[in-house]
Amino acid sequence: MKPIVAVNYKAYYPYSFGEHALEIARAAKRVWEETGVTVILAPPATELSRVLSVVKDTGVKVYGQHADPLEPGAHTGYLPLEAFREAGAHGVILNHSEHRLRLADINWLIKKAKRHGLETLVCADVPETGAAIAVLKPDMVAVEPPELIGTGIPVSKAKPEVITNSVELIRRVNKDVLILTGAGISSGEDVYAAIKLGTIGVLVASAIVKAENPYNVIKDMAEKALEAL
């Protein structure tokens, strides 16, 4: 299986929006064409359709950053899963440390996403939470210590035991789920280390989104990911 580089655009201004959001998408498309590595892009909801148009007919996937656990209706400002299905998204990130959900809601959303043909990448803060989420059978679990997010200090170096413990606990309950890690991932070397510790890839944000040249960063991460397998 090809490694995964998932890019969470978050809501950095101006980086996550407009032309820069499309530049990241074009970079991801180019890296996919050159390496075959799976690249997942999670732009703000306002940028979904434009990012999808850039990567159309490629292997680059586009996810929503969050979905709300509710049925469509009178819910101003909320995002039900149907919104992402209709937009053409491939999946959705759930339970990011910046947008937490209750375990019962995660379970509800995973089941509903499957019915709608949407993939799920569910975040966890510690190995035990990752294992609890893995029981619910999402497509991917990404373990990210929140204290390292945005620091530039990679979890693969600062807390490698978080990755190894996560892999061990998650595999006890789910042998099929894809395991990612994130928090502070800044370079290809960080990605290489994360995969060597047992993951299939990484969840990255500012290192790519705020980069002067997103292509160079994504390409470096993709190449090092391939080397690690």
Where in the sequence numbering do the catalytic residues fall?
96, 144
Please tell me whether residue 27 adopts helix, strand or coil conformation.
helix
Q: Helix and strand tally (H, E) in the chain?
A: 10, 8
Q: By three-state DSSP, how is residue 174 classified?
A: coil
Which among 171, 176, 219, 220 has a CA at the least distance from the CA of 197? 171
Place of tokens 């919104």: 83
User: Two tokens at 203?
Assistant: 């969840």
Interacting residues of 74 by C-beta distance below 8 A, sequence separation 6+: none
Look at residue 201 and give its three-state secondary structure.
Answer: strand
Q: Look-up: residue for tokens 């799976």? A: 38
HSE on the CB side for 186, CA within 13 Å?
11
